[in-house]
Amino acid sequence: MPGKLKAKIVAGRHLPVMDRASDLTDAFVEVKFGNTTFKTDVYPKSLNPQWNSEWFKFEVDDEDLQDEPLQITVLDHDTYSANDAIGKVYIDIDPLLCSEAATVISGWLPIYDTIHGIRGEINVLVKVDLFNDLNRFRQSSCGVKFFCTTSIPRCYRAIMVHGFVEELVVNEDPEYQWIDRIRTPRASNEARQRLLFLMSGELQRKIGLKVLEMGGNAVVGYLQCFDLEGESGLVVRAIGTACTLEKISTFPATATYPSNSSPSKDMKDTEVHLSSCPVGHLCHFCMIPPSPFCVFQEYPFFTLTAFPPGFLLHVGGVVSARSVKLLDRIHNPDEPETRDAWWEEIRQEIKSHAKALGCHAVVGYSESTSICEEVCILSASGTAAILGSRFMQDGPLDAEHRFEEVVSPGCGFCHIPYDELNIPFPAQLTYCYCCRHYKVPDVLFTTIDLPTEANVTGKGCLIQARLCRTKKKAQGEGNATAISNLLPFLEYELHTQLMNKLKLRGMNALFGLRIQISVGETMLLGLASATGVYLTPYCLVLFNWQVAVTAVAMSFDKEQTLENGKQSGEKTLIKDEQLQFNLELNAMSGIFHPPPSFLSSLSLFPSLSLLLSTASSMEKASPLPEGRSRSLRSNRSYSGSSVAVVKMTPLSFIPGAKIIKYLGIINMFFIRETTSLREEGGVSGFLHTFIAEVFAMVRAHVAALGGNAVVSYSMKECVFMENPNKNQAQCLINVSGDAVIFVRESELELTSVQPQSVDDSAPAWTDF
């Protein structure tokens, strides 16, 4: 399918001095896409050139538009020697290939050099004319939307959730090719950086093709990772959840259903298996009377961590698998089959763990690697769960909760999905405090976000566990064996730490659990982090309510005694100090929520009134109310001019604001190298400067798309290498997120929705 890419170079500013004699620069620009290159005229003797070039036009196939970035190189013209490179700009064209996203890329973009960092800015215009066709044999996936957010995007509804998609591509790493021995550091870094962009585009295109085959039009929870395997190659992997999304209009409208609204082929071909249901438990999935066994569809993995009410029926707990591999055992480093087989083994193990918990799906699924020399640790984790079948086949899912009528009770997802008589591990079970009919475990670990319908008492907090274990320095199979022997104990101790810290805080559930394993020559590190909360349906509540009921009984008894005056003061004396201690203990743990009748009796206990009024003010944990968040300024002033500030947040939403448009995924790669590490402030100064430049470039690219925020922002890769003896260091960073346009709710009420314009009078990248 043919397409036309058009680019125009307008101007540059704040360029570095390249001619020491005149303290100026003779700058020109090369615009390259694929094998075609255009050049602007040389603008002599200026640090702020005005090229105002003609439109450079590239006629290419649409698959090339997805694979290739637009490469803009700024150079200094030299008459008697080779032209000196000032820096480069890589522009991802993918956001322009979807009709609902951005239509033009326009603005000031930082000029980046892998040795010197940001070296001025360049003003560019980029447009795409795409001629769509319905060729079933096409190799492009233009039109498929990608979202980093792990929930249904705010201004979309999901008509259908198709399931898991994954892909990986392999290439030789330019850093380890023989030609690098005669390359300059800048040339080697640029070759590697360009290859990363190319592999990322190819991977995204292949993922999109799989989504189209499944009948979807979007990938939600898109996670892309890099494996730097040294001489074995460079691997780029991606996983996500294929969905069919529909844009939510400004006015309420009835959801439309696609003609192919049926389970995808992968689901139809999935093996149906038997799984034991809890005895006496009405199967929410099959909707049949209780029976020892029921039949249900086995769904694949889901990278989503947040779901509409009623989508998540039951949670079994965290399931994980790890494997240690030797990279030198790969038969053909250029082929992905071996690595595909590795990940398939891990996923099959995860499925078996989920099946043992009586679950048919894994949600909040993620994969990661840790590589040291020839040893690679593969890790995968998720949360075993039972999902509602009706949401997998038809019916729109959105963030507006259109299915309150089918939402299960708030305690439903806590109920065990497995048969307590046949569980393969010891567990302490008790009846749910809310419904008192089904059983719940004493502690729950999950990798998902806290469901909106969850009954929570008190507030959540960060729970972390850190562990470091030494290992003998070894090579090859001996090293892999040593790591394999350490891993199970490392993970067990991490879970033990989490359990102890959770109980010390009087909590019983972890959400958003992430465990990172890092391996070095002589060390093995583990870091686990999650959000701890107290789920009301769990058994520990009974103890706290026993304390509360005792206090109420004592207060009523004292009130009755004071009114009747039938007993002496000695017999009715209540130890206020002991009661206060019990209540303070419960208040500090964040798990005391007294009933109104108890609060009404506080007039008899003046010493406890202030304490319990504070304890009773703790509400259920929920996302920060959007309308009550602290207002952030949308722009700042520099030298008397207004500059649009691009917000950046790891959240999938912006408190106090409404996302009105998704402009596309931001997936950028940067390499920075220095030969003056000490002069730049050591490792700390070097990394701080580099990360600040990364923030600046991300903000500038989002502003060029017309956006004013990046949501679901994450830094998924940060590889640092140091040689103190040679005063050298190198760092590679990969960042991603969703570029969006948002408006404040207060502005939305007063004026019509209008995207914020970007002021070109001052650099957008200076705000960091």
- Boundaries of every domain in the chain: 1-132, 312-546
The yes-or-no answer to whether 1-132 and 312-546 have a common fold is: no
Nearest to 593 by CA among 583, 608, 579, 580: 583
Phi and psi dihedrals of 179, rounded to 5?
A: -70, -20
- Asked if 296 and 285 count as a contact pair (C-beta separation under 8 A), the reply is yes
Widest CA span in the chain: 112
**CB within 8 Å of 659: residues ≥ 6 apart:** 153, 154, 155, 653, 709, 711, 740, 741, 742
Q: What's the pLDDT at 647? A: 93
Helix, strand or coil, per DSSP, at residue 610: helix
Q: Is 577 exposed, middle or buried (0-12, 13-18, 19+ CB in 10 A)?
A: exposed
- Asked if 601 and 555 count as a contact pair (C-beta separation under 8 A), the reply is yes
Give the side-chain half-sphere CA count within 13 A for 186. Answer: 11
pTM for the full predicted model: 0.77
d(CA 149, CA 739): 11
Q: 312-546 maps to which CATH number? A: 3.30.110.70
**Edge-to-edge strands, sheet with 509-519:** 444-445, 509-519, 523-535, 456-470
Phi and psi dihedrals of 327, rounded to 5?
A: -70, -25
Nearest to 498 by CA among 485, 507, 488: 507
**CB within 8 Å of 702: residues ≥ 6 apart:** 646, 663, 666, 708, 709, 710, 739
Phi and psi dihedrals of 191, rounded to 5?
A: -65, -40
Q: Is 408 exposed, middle or buried (0-12, 13-18, 19+ CB in 10 A)?
A: middle
**CA–CA distances in Å: residue 340 to residues 125, 234, 327:** 40, 14, 13
Radius of gyration of the chain (CA): 29
- Asked if 217 and 145 count as a contact pair (C-beta separation under 8 A), the reply is yes
Phi and psi dihedrals of 10, rounded to 5?
A: -95, -60
Note the residue count of the chain: 768
Structure tokens at 683: 């490792």
Q: Which residue has the tokens 């067990």?
A: 492
Q: What's the pLDDT at 66? A: 87
- Asked if 214 and 265 count as a contact pair (C-beta separation under 8 A), the reply is yes
Helix, strand or coil, per DSSP, at residue 109: strand
- Give strand pairing partners of 22: none
**Edge-to-edge strands, sheet with 312-326:** 312-326, 375-387, 361-372
- Asked if 745 and 629 count as a contact pair (C-beta separation under 8 A), the reply is no
- Asked if 68 and 90 count as a contact pair (C-beta separation under 8 A), the reply is no
- Asked if 56 and 126 count as a contact pair (C-beta separation under 8 A), the reply is no
Q: What is the pLDDT of residues 205-230, one digit of tens each?
A: 999 999 999 989 999 999 999 988 88
- Asked if 7 and 126 count as a contact pair (C-beta separation under 8 A), the reply is yes
β-bridge pairing 709-723 and 647-648: parallel
**Residue 99: DSSP 8-state:** T
- Asked if 223 and 239 count as a contact pair (C-beta separation under 8 A), the reply is yes
- Annotate 307-342 with DSSP letters as a single string: --TTTEEEEEEEEEEEEEEEGGG-S-TT-SHHHHHH
**Residue 156: DSSP 8-state:** E
1-132: CATH topology is Immunoglobulin-like (2.60.40)
Q: What's the pLDDT at 137? A: 55
**CB within 8 Å of 141: residues ≥ 6 apart:** 66, 204, 205, 206, 207, 208, 209, 211, 212
**Residue 765: DSSP 8-state:** G
β-bridge pairing 145-147 and 218-228: parallel
**CB within 8 Å of 390: residues ≥ 6 apart:** 406
**CB within 8 Å of 464: residues ≥ 6 apart:** 501, 527, 528, 529, 530
Q: What's the pLDDT at 392? A: 62
**CB within 8 Å of 145: residues ≥ 6 apart:** 98, 100, 101, 217, 218, 219, 245, 662, 664
Phi and psi dihedrals of 278, rounded to 5?
A: -60, 135
Nearest to 663 by CA among 153, 225, 132, 194: 153
d(CA 443, CA 591): 15
Structure tokens at 353: 């763990």
d(CA 483, CA 504): 31
Helix, strand or coil, per DSSP, at residue 241: strand
- Give strand pairing partners of 671: 732
- Asked if 184 and 246 count as a contact pair (C-beta separation under 8 A), the reply is no
Helix, strand or coil, per DSSP, at residue 453: coil
Nearest to 165 by CA among 97, 199, 215: 215
Q: Which residues of the chain have pLDDT under 50?
A: 251-296, 394-395, 398-408, 539-574, 576-643, 753, 756-768
Helix, strand or coil, per DSSP, at residue 457: strand
Nearest to 71 by CA among 107, 43, 29: 29
CB atoms within 10 A of CB 752: 8
Q: What's the pLDDT at 710? A: 95
- Cα angle vertex 306, ends 747, 527, to 5°? 110
Q: Which residue has the tokens 């039951």?
A: 314
- Annotate 479-544 with DSSP letters as a single string: HHHHHHHHHHHHHHHHHHHHHHHHHHTT--EEEEEEEEEEE-SSEEEEEEEEEEEEETTSTHHHHH
Phi and psi dihedrals of 635, rounded to 5?
A: -150, 160
